[in-house]
Amino acid sequence: MGVGGGNLQGSLYKEFLDIGQKEVNRAWWQPSLRLDSWKLVQSSSLILQWKQTLTQERN
């Protein structure tokens, strides 16, 4: 029966969600950490835009 496997997958998924929620809560209560992760997101999107511009200029 695949019931056991399904339960395992479901519990792993729930655990993953719980961990994600904890990380979000931690980031929320530590503004400096939240800013750092926001900067990381911003810089990575800037890098992606820059790479796209470079490839467009080459063509």
Residue 52 binned pLDDT confidence (cut-offs 50, 70, 90)? confident
Q: What is the pLDDT of residues 13-46, one digit of tens each?
A: 888 888 778 877 776 666 666 666 677 777 888 8
Rounded to whole angstroms, the Cα distance separating 42 from 49 reads 11
Q: How many CB atoms lie within 10 A of CB 55?
A: 9
Tokens of 48: 């992606």
What pLDDT score does 31 carry?
Answer: 63
Contact 31, 38 (CB under 8 A): no
Tokens of 46: 């800037």
Q: Is the pLDDT of residue 1 over 60?
A: no
DSSP code of residue 8: H
Rounded to whole angstroms, the Cα distance separating 27 from 45 reads 20
